[in-house]
Amino acid sequence: MAAYRLSSIQKTYKFSANPPVLDKVVFTIDHIHAGDHHLSSTYEVVKFLTDHGIPVTVFIQCSNPSNDYEFDRHNARSIYGLAPHLVTLGVHPLPKGHSQAQQRDALNNISRIIQDITRKRPVTLSYHGSGAGPMRGISFPGIKFARGVQHAWAVNTDKPLDTPVMPLVSVSRAYEYIHERNNAGLSATLFVHSLELRHGSRQRRVFDTLVRDVVQRRLQALAYQQAMQQDFHGGGGASVVTTSPIETGVMRLSALTKEGKRPIPVNLSIKQRDGHYAVSASNTTSRQFSLPVGNYRVSAQTGQVTETKDLSLNPRQGIHHIFLMPV
Footprint on this chain of Zn ion (rule: CB under 5 A): 30, 128
Smallest distance, Zn ion to C-beta of residue 71, A: 18
Residue 60 or 227 having the CB closest to Zn ion: 60
Residue 28 or 230 having the CB closest to Zn ion: 28
b/e 246-282 (16+ beta carbons within 10 angstroms → b): eeebebebbbbeeeeeeebebebbbbbeeebbbbbbe
Smallest distance, Zn ion to C-beta of residue 93, A: 9
Smallest distance, Zn ion to C-beta of residue 31, A: 6
Smallest distance, Zn ion to C-beta of residue 326, A: 56
Question: How far apart are the C-alpha atoms of 182 and 25, rounded to whole Å?
Answer: 9
CB of 56 within 8 A of CB of 50? Answer: yes
Pairing of strands 248-257, 220-222: unpaired
Alpha carbon distance, N-terminus to C-terminus of the chain: 50
Smallest distance, Zn ion to C-beta of residue 198, A: 18
Residue 30 or 213 having the CB closest to Zn ion: 30
Backbone angles phi, psi at 144, to 5 degrees: -100, -35
Residue 33 or 205 having the CB closest to Zn ion: 33
Residue 109 or 254 having the CB closest to Zn ion: 109
Residue 16 or 75 having the CB closest to Zn ion: 75
Position closest to Zn ion via CB:
128
b/e 121-137 (16+ beta carbons within 10 angstroms → b): ebbbbbbbeeebbeeee
b/e 176-186 (16+ beta carbons within 10 angstroms → b): ebbbebbeebb
Backbone angles phi, psi at 207, to 5 degrees: -55, -55
Smallest distance, Zn ion to C-beta of residue 15, A: 30
Smallest distance, Zn ion to C-beta of residue 70, A: 21
Q: Which residues pair with 124 in a beta bridge?
A: 145
Residue 13 or 191 having the CB closest to Zn ion: 191
Sign of the four-CA dihedral 108, 111, 117, 119: negative
Q: What is the DSSP string of 4-19?
A: P------------SBT
